[in-house]
Amino acid sequence: MKRRRFLQAVSSGAVLSSCRGRLEEQIWRGIAMGIEVTVKYHGDGDLDSAIQAVAEAEEALTLWSSDSSLSRLNREGFLNNPPKPLLECLRKSYELFEASEGVFDPTIHSFLTWAKGRYESGRTPAGEEITERLERVNFGLVGFSESKIILPEGMSLSLNAIAQGYLTDVFAENFSASSALVNFGEYRVIGPDSWPVEIEGKRHELIRALAVSSGSGQRLSATSAANHLMHPKTGESPPPGKVVAVEADEAWLADGLSTVVAIGGGIPDRYSSARIL
């Protein structure tokens, strides 16, 4: 059973903008990937087409639903005729995988799932079993094309490290307002205006896209640093309190790079326009 119609409108309304000369500021709220999302905008915009585009993309990428394309891929090990959003995210992921020399790797999901089970059963993963499990983490072994995706045995994928950013971009690219701040867990600005966002209590005037990564969102252990962010070569997690914010031209890229930096990597040279805040 699907958890819901993937993207739901929660409420919408309008408040007066505090900036002189701007049109009235509209606020739209919804739910995507299990979290509340918002869009603040000036002027008219076609919300319906943007919402529909995100709903279709989310239906392919989410792990919340056992019926999604990604869930079926993980369950069956292959997927024929993959939908466009899934294929696009795999291509973007592979770009980051190569540029980061393997630090960005969506197949860490199989190791994370295994480690989470160990911690839940009261066992701390260690030694040879960690080494053995990490042998199943290598995005370079995943085969994908417009006709089929194939996962090696024992591998599974999560695109959570870029999915929220990707959905942010999908909305932004299908929304026609003259100025907007899209927040789907990651931020992206539409139009020439800057928009204020808060990062760790500090105000930042955003003109592009922004993503924030932290291990505090999903702790696996109360007695260790283990969390949902794990380095694909070591299985180690950054300190849960570590917060990384990255600004880039697109939200998917900011999202992926914030994960890379959070687990100990740097911003690859090919993304020289991105920066750590």
pLDDT one-digit tens code per residue, 43-57:
887 899 999 999 999
pLDDT at 128: 84
Q: Is the pLDDT at 2 greater than 50, yes or no? A: no
19, 9 contact by CB (below 8 A): no
For the purposes of burial, counting CB atoms within 10 Å of the CB of 27, is it exposed (0-12), middle (13-18) or buried (19 or more)?
middle
In this predicted model, what pLDDT tens digit does every residue of 176-209 receive, in sequence order? 899 999 999 999 999 999 999 998 889 999 999 9
Q: How far apart are CA 243 and CA 190, in angstroms?
A: 25
pLDDT at 221: 60
Averaged confidence pLDDT in the chain: 86
Model's pTM, two decimal places? Answer: 0.87
Residue with tokens 């924030």: 212
Report the distance separating Cα 233 and Cα 134, nearest Å.
7
Rounded CA gap, 164 and 78, in Å?
Answer: 23
Is residue 30 predicted with pLDDT exceeding 60?
A: yes
pLDDT digits (tens, 9 = 90+) for 146-159: 999 999 998 999 99
* 187 closest CA partner among 124, 230, 251: 251
pLDDT classification of 4: cutoffs 50, 70, 90: very low
Flag whether pLDDT at 15 surpasses 60.
no
**Percentage of the residues of the chain whose pLDDT score is greater than 90:** 62
All structural domains of the chain: 8-276 (3.10.520.10)
Work out the average pLDDT over 250-256. 98
Tens of pLDDT along 115-153?
887 776 777 777 788 888 898 899 999 999 999 999 999
81-85, 167-171, 236-240: lowest mean pLDDT where?
236-240
Contact 246, 256 (CB under 8 A): no
Higher-confidence position of 95 and 66: 95
> Which is nearest to 104 in space by CA: 60, 165, 170, 162?
162
Asked whether the beta carbons of 190 and 41 are under 8 A apart, the reply is yes
* Interval 73-119: pLDDT, tens: 999 999 999 999 999 999 999 999 999 999 999 999 998 888 887 77
Helix (H) or strand (E) holding 196: strand 195-199
Q: What is the pLDDT of residue 219?
A: 64
pLDDT of residue 165: 96
Q: Any long-range contacts for 4-7 (C-beta under 8 Å, 24+ apart)?
A: 4/31, 5/55, 6/32, 6/54, 6/55, 6/58, 6/59, 6/62, 6/65, 7/31, 7/32, 7/51, 7/54, 7/55, 7/58
Assign 230 a pLDDT band (cuts: 50, 70, 90): confident
Q: What's the confidence (pLDDT) of residue 21?
A: 46
Q: Which residues contact 128 (CB under 8 A, 6 or more apart)?
A: none
Q: At what angle do helices 47-61 and 84-99 cross, to 10 degrees?
A: 70
Confidence of residue 20 (pLDDT cuts 50, 70, 90): very low
